[in-house]
Amino acid sequence: MAADGDRKPAKKLNLKENYALLTRGLGWEPSYQKKEDIFRTVDFEGVKIHDWDKWEDPFRLTMDAYWKYQGEKERKLYAIIDAFQQNNGQFNVTDVRYVQALKVFLNGIVGLEYASHRGFNILGRELPGVGPRIAAQMQAIDELRHATTQIHAISHYNRYFEGMAEFPHQFDRVWYLSIPKSFFEDAVASGPFEFIVAISFAFEYVLTNLAFMPWMSGAAFNGDMSTVSFGFSAQSDEARHMTLGIEVIKFLLEQDPANVPLVQKWIDKWFWRGYRLLALLATMMDYMLPKRVMSWSEAWTIYYEENGGALFSDLARYGIKPPKYADVTVKEKHRVSHEMWSVFYTVRDALGFPIWLPSKEEMDWFSEKYPETFDRYYRPRFEYWRELEDKGTPFRSSTLPKLCQVCQWPCLYTEPDDASEFVHRQGEYQGEIFHFCSDGCSDIFHDEPEKYVHAWMPVHQIYQGNCFKEGVDPSAADFNPMAAALDYMGIKPGVDGGSMRDHVDAQRWESWTARPANMHEGAITDAVRKTT
Amino acid sequence: MSYQLTIEPLGQTLEIEDEQTILDAALRAGIWLPHACCHGLCATCKVQVREGEVDHGEASPFALMDFEREEGKTLACCARPQSDVVIEADIDEEPDAEVIPVRDFEGTVTRVESLTPTIKAVFIRLDEPMHFQAGQYVNLSIPVPGGTITRAFSLANPPSSGNEVELNIRIVPGGAGTGWIHESLGAGQRLSVAGPYGRFFVRKSARQPMLFMAGGSGLSSPRSMIVDLLEGNSQQPITLVYGQRSRNELYYHEQFLELAGRYPNFRYVPALSHEPEGSDWEGYRGFVHEAARACFDGDFRGHKAYLCGPPLMIDACITALMQGRLYERDIYNEKFISAADAQQAKSPLFRNI
């Protein structure tokens, strides 16, 4: 020791140097295979990358540390879910309408987490740079974890309520669930750079806050601590995913000027695709949460117009413009949730969850939050529908809706400058006519028609006879095509959809909790009346 | 009460109140730490506590794990000091940054010169020399009637000028401090300054060509940096694009002409934006970013750029540089980030510019 007494201690490594040494040599140059044979899709889209080392790894997370973090998150989350279950937490939520929102989550959104897991696995294989490849691999595992924990957090409700038991089956078959499913399949079927711009930037970065709003704050407001805990456990992963989105966009734009128009095209496309997907959340925020957090219009103002505005003013320095049709989203923010709930109401017999008309208290809230549109366009409609319900002749639509070839929503949206006129756009490709809900979706189709003509359109498939179970005989005398199609989707007529007033969830809720199924409307069964 | 907060790997020490978060103290001192949600949920601002005690505050158990608390990690956005604290944050080390403790200096004004109708040069002989990096600034205590106020001014002289420091001060219409300097300050006045402050300095170890862009009263730091480089025999190409509205505001023009004649690696590009038509000005007419674009043919790749001037000029210059494919990692400007900035809608695309 004495001999070393004069030696200066080595300079302590900082976090960046430490990480560089920990991970050096983990990415290697191939020696007996050509790089282009290993990374087969990296040149497919025309993106030019000159120096993968310019990628700044924003996380500096080793796999060892990653497992440790995620392990502890899981432990804590499941402790809370256990406590929630032991305390019958499912009965402490505001009312049974909140449970319907959870059904939409489980049936429509959990499948997206799994699709995202697949997409990031592909990126983890296809990106030649070590930094983004590791980030994609970690995100692939995150997404799988999110899907699993969401299923666990929500599945407890499945023991008490209808409509959640068949969620993977329904994700593949139910007509309106083709909307989220086709969104992610479009992304996964793109090249690697389009996928990462679509999901990491346009969706995770630009739009994800809007998904957290109704879900995590909404769950907290409505007493669902199980879903809130899932939200906390996911949010620390989301911060990593959002940072990845920002790094990706900077990296692509700085690498080569030829990348700028490609990135712009993908931002335009995926902003619009993501926005259309979020219309589902708009409806849930405004109509399905018994206690509301804020209106969709307010959320869009804060999270897109203000935060997105700051982002796109910075991106302007790279020559990137705000997404095409962003102005349309601002016009639609006063309408979209009302238009969609109206369509859900009219097709309620073909849904996996029951529907209700907004109460007087809720309509007054809408009048306040939507002063330009609600009283003029939607209040009279809802009041008329309630009148018909009271007369015993409720309005319902008996035909299937026309779907948009790109987003797969029913063509339910109205003209950007005229809320009384439905948007009808159509285009022709190889002699066939295709319909669109908007100019945004029409543009996307016409940029890649050969991709979207392959879309699996549920309504078309039903009419073509492709949505009946094996052994069903359409020529039988008592054949009911609607019932047969619903049976194929896993929707039980008289159990799953319909009106909340008649729904089995509502009746059970009142008999188990002695509280009204709809806190704004009063009890519908004697179970509550007796005790209050 | 307040404590000392030291931020590694910068080695910089600052004051922090016991009720203040580490993130707030760092941002107010102009030190950027990674952060995002600012309320303990996202874990972007996680740092290592090397010495001292902190209160983790509202940090979420999902964002700051139990094992991390045991390892001494904390979330800067929620952590408050309970003693003097040393943290290590995930920020890049700056090999060219010197850590110079801030001190108070007393001095005597030797002369006050008019540079333009609105800018005066104040020369102060300090009782002892101040060590600083070219580009840094000082806080000047100004004895106005009714008390003392402090204002920040960049040092216009190179570090080699011994005890004498030079401050170039523009009169702010209605400004108490600059008004007193312009109207009442003269030779023989005793003044005190504190410094040096700031993290605006030349990245000499990068060994790349340098582009300085200056306008308005923002010439001080670039002038100090350029003179320091040339005196130190820098062999890198150095360009100064220097803009004013008109010829009578173009102070130190002759000095730069002289330097450009003496040093072949120094190019001087003056630009006037509002010079009257038909005057004998033969240089560039237009704004700094336009002059720079013309003189580099719109391609700034391979440079280090240092910007100093009014906010609109800085903004136009950053845009021009990025359009010319020079990005944040090579662009430097003196910027103060306050906690209020962290609250407003701001994109995380850029950190320092």
Structural domain contains residue A321: yes
Residue of B nearest to A316 (CA): B319
**Best CATH choice for the domain B204-343 from the list 3.30.70.1070, 3.40.50.80, 3.50.50.60, 3.40.50.300:** 3.40.50.80
- pLDDT of A1 above 60: no
Structural domain contains residue A166: yes
pLDDT in tens, A20-32: 787 777 788 889 9
Question: Which pLDDT does position A426 carry in this prediction?
Answer: 95
Residue B20 tokens read as 């203040």
- Chain B residues 152-211 within an 8 A CB cutoff of chain A: none
Higher pLDDT: B352 or A296? It is A296
Q: What is the mean pLDDT of chain B?
A: 90
Asked if the C-beta of B325 comes within 8 angstroms of chain A's C-beta atoms, the answer is yes
The three-class DSSP label of residue B150 is strand
Question: Which pLDDT does position B335 carry in this prediction?
Answer: 60
Q: Is the Cβ–Cβ distance between A228 and A300 less than 8 Å?
A: no
Cα(A263)–Cα(A47) distance, integer angstroms:
9
Cα(B31)–Cα(B19) distance, integer angstroms:
19
Q: Which domain covers residue A363, as residue numbers? A: 52-498
Q: How close, in Å, is residue B289 to chain A by CA atoms?
A: 14
Q: Do A69 and B65 touch (CB under 8 A)?
A: yes
Which of A135-149, A435-449, B176-190, B198-212 comes out lowest in average pLDDT? B176-190
The total of other beta-carbon atoms located within 10 Å of residue B347's CB is: 16
DSSP string of A467-479? SS-TT--TTSTT-
Q: Closest partner residue to A239 among B44, B318, B325, by Cβ?
A: B44
Question: Which pLDDT does position A243 carry in this prediction?
Answer: 83
Q: Is the Cβ–Cβ distance between A96 and A523 less than 8 Å?
A: no
- If pLDDT is split at 50, 70 and 90, which confidence band does A96 have? very high
Q: Tokens 């989220």, residue?
A: A180
Question: Which pLDDT does position B337 carry in this prediction?
Answer: 43
Question: Which pLDDT does position B20 carry in this prediction?
Answer: 93
Asked if the C-beta of B11 comes within 8 angstroms of chain A's C-beta atoms, the answer is no
Q: How close, in Å, is residue B62 to chain A by CA atoms?
A: 6
- If pLDDT is split at 50, 70 and 90, which confidence band does B338 have? very low
pLDDT in tens, A391-449: 999 999 888 889 999 999 999 999 999 999 999 999 999 999 999 999 999 999 999 99
Q: Compute φ and ψ for B301, nearest 5 degrees.
A: -55, 145
- pLDDT of A338 above 50: yes
Q: Closest partner residue to B345 among A16, A73, A307, by Cβ?
A: A307
How many residues in chain B?
Answer: 353
| Three-state secondary structure string covering chain B | CEEEEEEECCCEEEEEECCCCHHHHHHHCCCCCCCCCCCCCCCCCEEEEEECCEECCCCCCCCCCHHHHHHCEEECCCCEECCCEEEECCCCCCCCCCCCCCEEEEEEEEEEEECCCCEEEEEEEECCCCCCCCCCEEEEEEEECCEEEEEEEECCCCHHHCCEEEEEEECCCCCHHHHHHHHHCCCCCEEEEEEEECCCCCCHHHCCCEEEEEECCCCHHHHHHHHHHHHCCCCCCEEEEEEECCHHHCCCHHHHHHHHHHCCCEEEEEEECCCCCCCCCCCEECCHHHHHHHHHCCCCCCCEEEEECCHHHHHHHHHHHHHCCCCHHHEEECCCCCHHHHHCCCCCCCCCC
B233: left (phi over 0), alpha (psi -120 to 50) or beta: left
Cα(A238)–Cα(A139) distance, integer angstroms:
9
Cα(A463)–Cα(A118) distance, integer angstroms:
31
Mean pLDDT of the region A231-243: 81
Q: Is the Cβ–Cβ distance between B271 and B283 less than 8 Å?
A: yes
Could you give the ipTM of this predicted complex?
Answer: 0.79
Question: Which pLDDT does position B16 carry in this prediction?
Answer: 94
Asked if the C-beta of B315 comes within 8 angstroms of chain A's C-beta atoms, the answer is no
B2-88 placed in CATH 3.10.20.30: yes
Topology (CATH level 3) of domain B103-197: Elongation Factor Tu (Ef-tu); domain 3 (2.40.30)
Give residue limits of the domains in chain B: 2-88, 103-197, 204-343
| Radius of gyration (C-alpha) of chain A in whole angstroms | 25
* Long-range CB contacts (within 8 A, 24+) of B315-318: B316/B287, B316/B288, B316/B289, B317/B213, B317/B288, B317/B289, B317/B292, B318/A317, B318/B353
Chain A contacts to B (CB-CB under 8 A): 14-16, 60, 68-69, 72-73, 76-77, 229, 232-233, 235-236, 238-239, 242-243, 246, 249-250, 254, 257, 306-307, 309-311, 313-319
Question: Which pLDDT does position B129 carry in this prediction?
Answer: 94
Q: Compute φ and ψ for B314, nearest 5 degrees.
A: -60, -45
Q: Do A309 and B345 touch (CB under 8 A)?
A: yes
DSSP string of A308-325? HHHHHHHHGGGTPPPPTT
Q: How close, in Å, is residue A25 to chain B by CA atoms?
A: 22
Q: Do B349 and A242 touch (CB under 8 A)?
A: no
Structural domain contains residue A490: yes
Residue of B nearest to A251 (CA): B327
- If pLDDT is split at 50, 70 and 90, which confidence band does B340 have? very low
- If pLDDT is split at 50, 70 and 90, which confidence band does A10 have? low
| Omega of the bond leading into A358 within 30 degrees of 0 (cis) | no
Cα(B330)–Cα(B352) distance, integer angstroms:
11
Q: How close, in Å, is residue B90 to chain A by CA atoms?
A: 6
Question: Which pLDDT does position A214 carry in this prediction?
Answer: 63
A39, exposed or middle or buried, with CB in 10 Å at 0-12, 13-18, 19+?
Answer: middle
Angle formed at CA A146 by CA A74 and CA A441, multiple of 5 degrees? 165
> How many CA atoms within 13 Å lie on the side-chain side of A362?
22
State what percent of residues in chain A have pLDDT above 70: 96
- pLDDT of A155 above 60: yes
Q: Closest partner residue to B42 among A235, A249, A318, by Cβ?
A: A235
Cα(A155)–Cα(B306) distance, integer angstroms:
58
Buried b / exposed e along A433-447 (16+ C-beta atoms within 10 A): ebbbbbebbbbbbee
- If pLDDT is split at 50, 70 and 90, which confidence band does A11 have? low
Residue B242: closest CA among B256, B231, B263? B256
Residue A147: closest CA among A115, A171, A179? A115
Tally of domains in chain A:
1
Query: pTM score, two decimals?
Result: 0.88
The three-class DSSP label of residue A256 is coil
pLDDT in tens, A38-56: 999 999 999 999 998 888 7
Structural domain contains residue A507: no
- pLDDT of A194 above 90: yes
Beta strands in A75-163 (DSSP E): none
**How many Å separate Cα B170 from the centre of its chain?**
17
Higher pLDDT: B202 or A236? It is B202
First-to-last C-alpha distance (Å) of chain A: 83
Q: Do A76 and B61 touch (CB under 8 A)?
A: yes
Cα(A368)–Cα(A413) distance, integer angstroms:
22
pLDDT in tens, A491-505: 988 789 999 989 999
- Neighbouring-strand partners of residue A151: none
Mean pLDDT of the region A14-25: 77
Q: Do A315 and B93 touch (CB under 8 A)?
A: no
Cα(A84)–Cα(A80) distance, integer angstroms:
6
CATH of the domain at A278: 1.10.620.20
Q: Closest partner residue to A314 among B44, B325, B349, by Cβ?
A: B349
Q: Do B62 and A236 touch (CB under 8 A)?
A: yes
Q: How close, in Å, is residue B72 to chain A by CA atoms?
A: 15
A-interface mutation test, from B62, B70, B75, most A Cβ less than 10 A away: B62
pLDDT in tens, A460-498: 999 898 999 998 988 899 888 888 999 999 998 878 999
Structural domain contains residue A509: no
Structural domain contains residue A110: yes
Q: Where does A256-325 have alpha helices with state H?
A: 259-283, 296-299, 307-315
Structural domain contains residue A400: yes
pLDDT in tens, B141-167: 988 888 888 888 999 999 999 899 999
- pLDDT of B352 above 80: no
Structural domain contains residue A137: yes
Question: Which pLDDT does position B1 carry in this prediction?
Answer: 84
- pLDDT of B339 above 50: no
Residues of B in contact with A244 (CB under 8 A): none
pLDDT in tens, A271-306: 999 999 999 889 999 999 999 989 999 999 988 998
Mean pLDDT of the region B249-273: 96
